[in-house]
A and B are shown apart, each in its own frame.
Chain A
Amino acid sequence: MDDYTVGVLTNIGLISFIALSAYLLILAGEMSFGQQGFFGVGAYVAGVATAMYGIPLPVAAAMAMGAGAAAAFLVGLPTLRLRGLYFAMATLAAAEMLRIVFELIHFQREIEGDPVGPDGTQGFRGIRWVFENGVEPEGYLAMVWGLLFGVMVLFLLVERSKLGTTLRMVGEDPELARMLGVHVERFKLGVVAAAGALAALGGALYAHHNTYIEPRNFDIMLGVHSLAYALIGGLGTAFGPLLGVLVDIGVLEGSRVFQGYRMIVFGGLVAILLVFRPRGLLDEKVVHWLKARFISS
């Protein structure tokens, strides 16, 4: 497999993390324009851990997830009682604040005569864990998709369990959930933190794939894109967000026919698709149909 294909496939995997993060929140009934902030938190925390303190990647990734969950918790605590658009704007504001904080951080150490670390708008170069540990692009691809697979398994298990039903119920009809004894606020806070951790994991992996991150990587475009992928792919299953990412990056990128017009084509397709399928390609109806046809009762 040539380097380019490996790169595209890795990118698909990385973006799926943040798309799944947005999807999780949509299921809980919240629309977030801010998951990119936690993606960024994960990227910076993991990058600092490996490049500046020599912490191995698995530990750094775990630290990143913790940081992402904590940041999301702090954002969610004052804002979860906000409805719809208000919550979306609050998450947007939070993510932009995080991005500006990244622009202001200048924290470097000298390692072998070179300064290493986040340098404000100049970005954070030299996250070279893959080179220092001899990880080939194919190996990293396998690692990213291995983790993604694990996350998907978790999602599928949750969706079939009582937890999954509770999640969707909290999203669709919180009053009903409350009447059935679910502590809606605490539940949602848990979902927000989980989504933050998920996005942060994606960010950590992104930082080490790219070896360089800068605040501009984590702007609103990334956030709204991830929301779009979740919605387009479909809200019926965790495969939905993956499908959304695949459609955009995979098909249109790979075909190269649309070079230069990719966004025009993709944007038009999305708008038209949403007219006919407002809950995405793999929406709940389709998933139900597929399950009925292919999985015996």
Chain B
Amino acid sequence: MVKSAIYLVLILSASPAFAQRVQGQLACKPTATDFIYECTIRLARGGQPLSGAALTVGADMPSMPMAHNVKPVKAKPGKAPGEYEAKLDLEMLGEWAVKLRLAGPVKDQLILHYDFDEKGAQPVIRSGRPLRK
């Protein structure tokens, strides 16, 4: 009983981020330049907006995961609490896995799938079928 209590304390102290996971949402507007988007990211944790996070935004294409590295950009705090802004420069349109990396004070990483076209970014609702003919 004492042993498991000590064990629990040790685990909890070694993993500060064990608490609730961060949720995120993306809204993007195209700019005058092709493939560059102005994006607003909303972060929340446990239902509350999460402010003050050091957020870096990157993107990857699901197929051939390390081929289309988009240079990650540091997001600036946005207007509302829990909102951040970043300019994404993608090499092409299509489905991207947007990588939100939080460096502090909460450390976490979120991957969100969005389909980028001329109008902006739509979240991808997978129907259980890969994009193949």
**A residues bordering B, Cβ < 8 Å?**
3-4, 7-8, 11, 14-15, 103, 112, 114, 120-122, 125-126, 128, 131-134, 206, 210-212, 214-217, 219, 221-222, 225, 249, 253, 256, 259-260, 263
What's the least CB distance linking A113 to chain B, in Å? 8
* A210 to B103 alpha-carbon distance, docked (Å): 15
- Asked if B130 lies at the interface with its beta carbon under 8 angstroms from chain A, I say yes
Interface residues of B in 68-126 (CB under 8 A from A): 69, 71-72, 91, 97, 101, 103, 107-109, 111, 126
Q: Give the number of chain B interface residues (Cβ < 8 Å).
A: 30
B91 touches A260 (CB 8 A): yes
* A121 to B127 alpha-carbon distance, docked (Å): 8
* A15 to B129 alpha-carbon distance, docked (Å): 27
Instruction: Contacts A128-B109, A134-B14 given; indicate if A121 touches B66 (C-beta within 8 A).
Output: no
B62 touches A126 (CB 8 A): no
Partner among A15, A256, A260 whose Cβ is within 8 Å of the Cβ of B66: A15
Q: Can you list 16 residue pairs at the A/B interface with Cβ under 8 Å? A: A3-B56, A7-B58, A14-B66, A15-B66, A103-B130, A125-B111, A131-B108, A132-B15, A133-B14, A134-B15, A210-B111, A217-B63, A222-B65, A225-B67, A253-B69, A256-B71
Question: When A and B form their complex, what is the total count of cross-chain residue pairs whose Cβ atoms lie within 8 Å?
Answer: 75
A221 touches B129 (CB 8 A): no
Instruction: Contacts A120-B128, A259-B91 given; indicate if A126 touches B63 (C-beta within 8 A).
Output: no
Residues of chain A contacted by B17 (CB below 8 angstroms)? 128, 131-132, 134
**Which has the most chain A C-beta neighbours within 10 Å: B21, B71, B91, B101?**
B21
**B residues bordering A, Cβ < 8 Å?**
14-18, 20-21, 56, 58, 62-67, 69, 71-72, 91, 97, 101, 103, 107-109, 111, 126, 128-130
Residues of chain B contacted by A132 (CB below 8 angstroms)? 15, 17-18
What's the least CB distance linking B11 to chain A, in Å? 9
A211 touches B91 (CB 8 A): no
Q: Which residue from chain B places its CB closest to the CB of A222 in the assembled complex?
A: B64
B72 touches A4 (CB 8 A): yes
Residues of chain A contacted by B128 (CB below 8 angstroms)? 120-121
Q: Which residue from chain B places its CB closest to the CB of A2 in the assembled complex?
A: B72
B71 touches A221 (CB 8 A): no
* A11 to B128 alpha-carbon distance, docked (Å): 28
What's the least CB distance linking A213 to chain B, in Å? 9
Partner among A15, A133, A214 whose Cβ is within 8 Å of the Cβ of B62: A214
